[in-house]
């Protein structure tokens, strides 16, 4: 028996669930339910079809490697860990294992990028509408919240973070665009991913290409603008050889992006954005102090225990604008958090696998740098979407030692 998603025109559904696991508001408010649904769907898709010996070997290898690493981290971390957090992390890793195995099958390989592109185009259209309608709906917004997050919404379709994320643009107040995600910084990651797909995989520069650029600008994310600037610069040299007129237009956009990015960077370092900049600087530097005390096993992947650990006076770091003697929030930098929480061996394995992922082969080095930059600005590494890339690299590694095809 096999579930034929194509028959019901739902072959994009697995990618939808995988994508919204990475910072969407649906995941913020219904995390446990959506994680369970995502895990169940990919597990069913993996087991329901006839399994070859190769599938079972891959599954066993991935489970043994990553579940063992999680158990070692749980048992030998320098800080006592919660069993609930361990089980949650096992579920997340298992979900990404099933997803990677599903998309690594020969008949599904092309679906990963095609369906991701489809989902991102829908996210793009929603983000454009979300950004443009704000002046018309700002007086009709209601607040939604849980114990960790709150925002404003219009009919539960469009979302805004309120006064803290308003930008004064030529005397107009504009809400930074967050789309379906919990903040603008995550929307820019997915829009830059769409820009990468359009520019370097499908090599298209049509309406979606330019609309994606507009969506990234609407986030007013410094990181997003910087990444877009690099991507457009890389794309310019390709476009110049193919079409002088398009390359000239791209060059104009690069120039505008440079000035907007430079203004944003100056504001973050010297202006009103200093608090945000120094908070991110703190999240970049402090984990290195924590790592120095537990380099092999880290302090544990229990994020609540990590928050308690980082408040110790021995890890304090005083900056100009704010005294970060203690910081009662989690880290915004999932790369340095994972380094301090998991330890060097686990960290090296995960990022080696991320570099060797097999879903995006075009401009592999830049794609890896882009992923690292993105993960350094948002707490997204331990999400099924991003871990699926890691599992893809692990499958590739293990396949090197498989001498016989089954």
Per-residue pLDDT tens digits for 261-299: 666 666 655 555 556 667 777 878 888 888 888 889 888
Mean pLDDT of the chain: 85
| Residue range 118-175, pLDDT digits in tens | 999 999 999 999 999 998 998 899 999 888 888 999 999 999 987 777 777 666 778 8
How confident is the model over 310-348, as pLDDT tens digits?
Answer: 777 666 666 554 545 545 566 789 999 999 999 999 999
66-100 pLDDT per residue, tens: 999 999 999 988 788 889 999 999 999 999 999 99
**pTM listed for this prediction:** 0.88
What string of H, E and C letters represents the secondary structure of the chain? CCCCCCCCCCCCHHHHHHHHCCCEHHHHHCHHHHHHHHHHHHHHHHHHCCCCHHHHHHHHHHHHHHHHHHHHHHHHCCCCCCHHHHHHHHHHHHHHHHHHHHHHCCCCHHHHHHHHHHHHHHHHHHHHHHHHCHHHHHHHCEEEECCCCEEEEECCCEEECHHHHEEEECCEEEECCCCCECCHHHHHHHHHHHHHHHHHHCCCCCHHHHHHHHHHHHHCCHHHHHHHHHHHHHHHHHHHHHCHHHHHHHHHHHHHHHHHHHHHHHHHHHCCCHHHHHHHHHHHHHHHHHHHHCCCCCCCCCHHHHHHHCCCHHHCEECCCCEECCCCCCCCCHHHHHHHHHCHHHHHHHHHHHHCCCCCCCCHHHHHHHHHHHHCCCCCCCCHHHHHHHHHHHHHHHHCCCCCCC
Q: What is the mean pLDDT of residues 9-26?
A: 89
pLDDT tens for each residue of 362-371: 999 999 999 9
pLDDT tens-place string over residues 189-204: 999 999 999 999 998 8
């Amino acid at each position: 028996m096999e579930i034929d998603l194509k028959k019901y025109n739902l072959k994009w559904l697995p990618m939808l669930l995988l994508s919204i696991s990475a910072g969407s508001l649906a995941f913020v408010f219904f995390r446990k339910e959506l994680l369970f649904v995502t895990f169940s769907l990919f597990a069913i898709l993996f087991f329901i079809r006839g399994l070859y010996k190769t599938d079972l070997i891959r599954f066993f290898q991935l489970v043994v490697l990553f579940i063992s690493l999680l158990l070692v981290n749980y048992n030998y971390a320098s800080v006592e860990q919660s069993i609930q957090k361990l089980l949650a992390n096992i579920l997340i890793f298992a979900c990404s294992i099933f997803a990677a195995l599903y998309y690594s099958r020969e008949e599904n390989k092309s679906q990963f990028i095609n369906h991701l592109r489809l989902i991102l185009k829908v996210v793009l259209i929603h983000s454009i509408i979300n950004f443009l309608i704000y002046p018309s709906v700002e007086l009709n917004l209601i607040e939604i919240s849980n114990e960790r997050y709150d925002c404003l919404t219009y009919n539960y379709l469009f979302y805004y973070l309120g006064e803290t994320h308003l930008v004064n643009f030529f005397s107009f107040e504009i809400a930074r665009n967050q789309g379906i995600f919990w903040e603008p910084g995550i929307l820019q990651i997915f829009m830059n991913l769409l820009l990468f797909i359009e520019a370097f995989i499908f090599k298209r520069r049509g309406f979606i290409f330019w609309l994606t650029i507009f969506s990234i600008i609407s986030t007013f994310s410094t990181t997003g603008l910087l990444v877009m600037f690099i991507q457009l610069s890389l794309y310019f040299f390709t476009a110049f050889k193919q079409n002088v007129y398009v390359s000239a237009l791209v060059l104009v956009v690069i120039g505008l992006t440079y000035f907007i990015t430079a203004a944003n960077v100056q504001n973050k370092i010297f202006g009103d954005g200093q608090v945000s900049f120094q908070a991110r600087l703190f999240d970049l530097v402090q984990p290195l102090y924590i790592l120095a005390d537990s380099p092999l096993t880290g302090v544990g992947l229990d994020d609540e225990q990590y928050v308690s650990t980082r408040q110790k006076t021995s890890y304090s770091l005083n900056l100009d604008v704010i005294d970060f003697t203690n910081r009662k929030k989690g880290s915004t930098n999932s790369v340095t958090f994972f380094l301090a929480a998991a330890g060097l061996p686990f960290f090296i394995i995960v990022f080696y696998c991320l570099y060797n992922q097999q879903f995006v082969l075009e401009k592999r080095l830049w794609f890896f740098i882009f992923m690292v930059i993105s993960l350094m600005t948002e707490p997204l590494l331990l999400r099924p979407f991003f871990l699926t890339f890691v599992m893809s690299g692990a499958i590739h590694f293990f396949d090197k030692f498989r001498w016989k095809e089954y």
